[in-house]
Structure 1
Amino acid sequence: MSTAPTLNGQVIGQAHYATRALLERAAGPLGLRFAQVVALNALAAGPVERAQLVHRLTSTLKVDEPAVREVIDALVDADLAQVDGPAPQLRLTDTGHVTRARVADAVAGITARLYAGIPADEADAAARVLTLVTQRANAELAAS
């Protein structure tokens, strides 16, 4: 008789890395890495001050500022984002919007396939648990 796996960091990590690998496979032909996709998504809502974007990406990706600056510079160099205004704000270019839409379409397909058939109440419970675990981990990181 098979037993359900124990919810722990290993199980969560395996799901993250497997899903991330699918995303990277979809984004690769567009010349994008995972961190660049995250940055494109952050810029999709509109212009963001560079410092705010750096903070958002360092806290989301758990990487240092130089790594985030490389991601931002790569997006600018690829004409996917540009810097506007005196208080340097980054925004998506037209090419950036098109590229982000292509990634979003790929993600929608991946999501539909991976989450198909999971009952809504189970998906909701998993989302609540993972959100709580993320909040607790972030609180511990902030405290240290």
Structure 2
Amino acid sequence: ASYAATRLGLTHMREHGGPFFLEFVTYRMGAHTTSDDPTRYRTREEEASWEARCPIARLRALLEREGAAGPDFFSGADDDAARLAARTREFTRANRAGEVEEMFDHVYATSNRQVSHERDLWESYKNREAAARSGEPAGTGVGDAGVGAAVGGGAR
């Protein structure tokens, strides 16, 4: 199905130009985080059902069955993946963490009113927090909205 949908999209783009949207629905086998307990919201039967449909395991079984790949290939692929993961972790750890304000810099190719407003809210929040730590009074911020309003509001 994925191959057929991809071929359809490619044909569409070649004939009509422009983009084609493909959505692949997947199932996250692992927990959301290290503190997550998936047994609270899904059963073992549900997991087993999705595990049986795992595209990676299915492709591996097909390649083995057809004689296209064997244990040496998969062992090598696992080793390559482990090396790539190690290099990625090393690269990530070696690079500096950006300043929080940088999160506003590359949201869009050019700035817009919404992003500018959210940057102003962040600056206001940051200034209020700094003033609170120093014991000095601070202004109420941009339109009295506060950061909570910028990200959906609600009690903090």
When normalised by structure 2's length, the TM-score is: 0.35
Larger RCO: 1 or 2 (CA < 8 Å, sep 6+): 1
- Relative to total residues, which structure has the larger strand share, 1 or 2? 1
Bigger CA radius of gyration: 2
When normalised by structure 1's length, the TM-score is: 0.37
